Amino acid sequence: MKNLTVYRKGFLLSLVTVLLTFGYSQAEELSIDHTYDKVIASVVWIVNTDTKGQGSGVLIDKKLRRVVTNHHVAKKNESIMVFFPVRDRNGKLIIDRDFYVNESHWVILTKLGYAITGHVIGESPENDLSILRLDGVPETAREIEYDFNYLSNRRKNSMVHIFGNPANIKMLWRWTLGRLEKVDKEMLIIRADIYKGNSGGPVVNDKGELIGIAARSDQSTVAEAIPANKIEDLLNTLKPRHIFSIQNNAHFTLHYDIKWQKNDAWKEIVIKSGEAWNHWYSKDFNRKGYPKIRFDYIANDGQVTYKTYELETYTRRLGSGVTPSRKGDAREYHFGYNSRTQRLDLYDSEK
């Protein structure tokens, strides 16, 4: 592995060229283990900026930009940094942890999706699983193949491959071989040498198919992984929600009413200056004309003079108990006040 001092002037330009020209087909020509080569473009390094914790994860759906990891890695934070592996100009995987956290590299890594923000959209604390939705993915990323029926096809003492990012060493995207010793409905018991930081990483069979998510290990060589069918169960909990948000940019507390359906009663909301509220609806509704908002738009005249608007929403698939984030999940609006005309109005924040 090359030292970071190799990446001096012109590095960013050469990295752009490499990332745009080196596809997965060229990576397959490298003399590395076939299973590693097949899986590694799906593996991510997760850095939880709130807890300062680190872990691993795996891309399970590239189109929908979904990553699976442990709940104890993701926690309940609104945003998490997710890194995908990068290859250098010779097609060699860059595994030096310092390369990815070097601020001078972040502009291009972020632009190309190799360093990206993730949001929790589904969680199962009892199974120690979370689903993240990413703001983007790099072209070279590949979604993992998976076998959600592995429990019915299981073979005791079969060999498995575990991928992740051990926290106690400087190198990322590590691989270790393990032996599946026991399978039950709750955990895969594996004889393997894994460490803190491997949590959330994929466990795959000899076909390179995801069969579990590494969860924990003891101080010897016994590791536990969550069976892949638990991932399927969590994915099935993601239901559509129709979401919009409103921020109060006026310099006073104000009131507004919303309704999602024609026959609904108006619901009054009180919002202080500077606050932002998310609103969502989990049922199907007649989008024509709804949801609606109304508010008293003439200030200090002693009477209520309503102005009414129809709003647009974003539809996101989220798990129960997951609060939508304003950025990315919600269609954004804001209130503004004209002190000259003494008029309050609602504005589209995205125009």
What pTM was estimated for this model as a whole?
0.82
Q: DSSP assignment, residue 265?
A: P
249 Cβ partners below 8 Å, 6+ apart? 273, 274, 334, 335, 336, 337
The whole-number pLDDT of residue 126 equals 94
| The CATH number of domain 239-348, selected from 2.30.140, 3.40.50, 2.60.40, 1.20.58 | 2.60.40
Domain boundaries, the chain: 4-145, 150-235, 239-348
Q: What is the pLDDT of residues 192-242, one digit of tens each?
A: 877 777 899 999 988 899 999 999 887 668 889 999 999 999 999 999 999
The pLDDT mean for the chain works out to 85
206 Cβ partners below 8 Å, 6+ apart? 35, 158, 159, 161
| The CATH number of domain 150-235, selected from 2.40.10.10, 2.60.120.1440, 3.40.50.12280, 3.40.1160.10 | 2.40.10.10
Same fold, 4-145 and 150-235: yes
Query: Which has the higher per-residue pLDDT, 64 or 26?
Result: 64
Cβ proximity of 108 and 102 under 8 Å: no
Q: DSSP assignment, residue 325?
A: P
Residue 186 pLDDT > 90, yes or no? no
Joined tokens for residue 44: 């991510």
The whole-number pLDDT of residue 340 equals 92
Residue 4 pLDDT > 50, yes or no? no
Distance CA 121, CA 280 (A): 14
CATH class of 4-145: mainly beta
Burial (0-12, 13-18, 19+ Cβ within 10 Å), 340 = exposed
Q: How confident is the model at residue 87 (pLDDT cuts 50, 70, 90)?
A: very high
